[in-house]
Structure 1
């Protein structure tokens, strides 16, 4: 069994402004760096073997800060755990999405949820295989990635439905054989910050409600 701890990156200015980031590379702000340090200190209560991260700078820096707090080397960058691509919706607020892409209007360049899952799950399996049985690995990634994995592996669990995936939050999974299962949503404790988590839950709902791909 391999344990994977998926961590959402710290806050960015676009998170604060509630703009959809997707594949746009927006760096952490000062609060985001503080959140990453807090998360690293929480994770330091447990033993970890490695940190891997999305190459987008907000996740890569989060991973670097966490790795330093854990006394580990620089994170391995894994492109497949980068954020979902939102195409022409990137940079927009929820209100702008509603105005530009009314219900039923496709968003050019948006990655489907099925495509997201198809690239992320094999990457997580490869990470688990690379570090081996008994390893614990931190994966610094993104809100939509974590949401997609949670929904895929626990489709009948409603405890997390409607719950924001906050900046700096930790979500643990285990790989045993070929099976990935959710151990705990928001593990080990909630990460406190100066403001509520800024996962763009409301306006990403506007994007997802018209998505014909249920995966």
Structure 2
């Protein structure tokens, strides 16, 4: 979508639950040392854009792992670490009853739910959780209000939905999109690139 503001999107750094392949969703799991190093790396990468981004909005998910990532990035940029906004609509997909469960255990412990998710990963909703379709509505509503270039620190699911919205992708592909924690995603003028 041309003429939309540029978004510099960073997924929060790694947590122990990411490393273990454990569903964390909206659980507030802290960064580990690898995650802090990833945040520093992403801050260093953003330095090349400092004259542009110093005047942009900086916005983070309310979860601690996103806020800590943002604060490390801002410190790397020489900006006051805590001078950014919190946006509740940028919180991660809620995995409901699956939160805290290892991915490897899902297939064994809840085979019916695992099979249903495999059939339609975009619309499937875990017990007490959200579907990617739900998340896409939430993220699109926020993205549609953007007026200024922004540096965003949020989550993998949010990154996937934001790309589908900005790039006009078929939302059904959202669950399959990559979402690395050690790269910066630039979305602007209907295109994307990774740094």
- Work out whether the TM-score is over 0.5: yes
Q: Normalising by the residue count of structure 2, what TM-score does the alignment of the two structures yield?
A: 0.79
Q: Confirm or deny: 8 A CA contact 2:143 2:162 kept in the other structure.
A: no
2:66 matched to 1:78? no
Q: Confirm or deny: 8 A CA contact 1:7 1:139 kept in the other structure.
A: yes
* Greater fraction of residues in helix: 2
Alignment partner, residue 156 of structure 2: 143
Farther off after superposition, 70-79 or 60-69: 70-79
Mapping 1:28-177, distance limit 5 Å: 28-46=31-49, 47-48=52-53, 49-73=56-80, 74-102=83-111, 103-104=115-116, 107-126=126-145, 128-129=146-147, 132=148, 136-152=149-165, 153-155=167-169, 164-174=178-188
**2: CA distance between counterparts of 1:144 and 1:50?**
21
Mapping 1:176-187, distance limit 5 Å: 181=190, 183-186=191-194
**1: CA distance between counterparts of 2:40 and 2:157?**
22
Q: Confirm or deny: 8 A CA contact 2:25 2:95 kept in the other structure.
A: yes
RMSD: 2.5
Deviation for aligned residue 1:151: 3.1
**1: CA distance between counterparts of 2:72 and 2:144?**
24
Distance change in 2, residues 1:161/1:89 (3 Å): closer
**1: CA distance between counterparts of 2:169 and 2:44?**
31
Q: Confirm or deny: 8 A CA contact 1:6 1:139 kept in the other structure.
A: yes
**2: CA distance between counterparts of 1:116 and 1:163?**
14
Can you list the C-alpha shifts for 1:46-76, whole angstroms capped at 9, x where unaligned?
A: 1202321001011111111112222334221
Gaps of 5+ in 1: 176-180, 190-215
Deviation for aligned residue 1:32: 0.6
Alignment partner, residue 8 of structure 2: 5
Deviation for aligned residue 1:161: 8.9
Q: Normalising by the residue count of structure 1, what TM-score does the alignment of the two structures yield?
A: 0.72
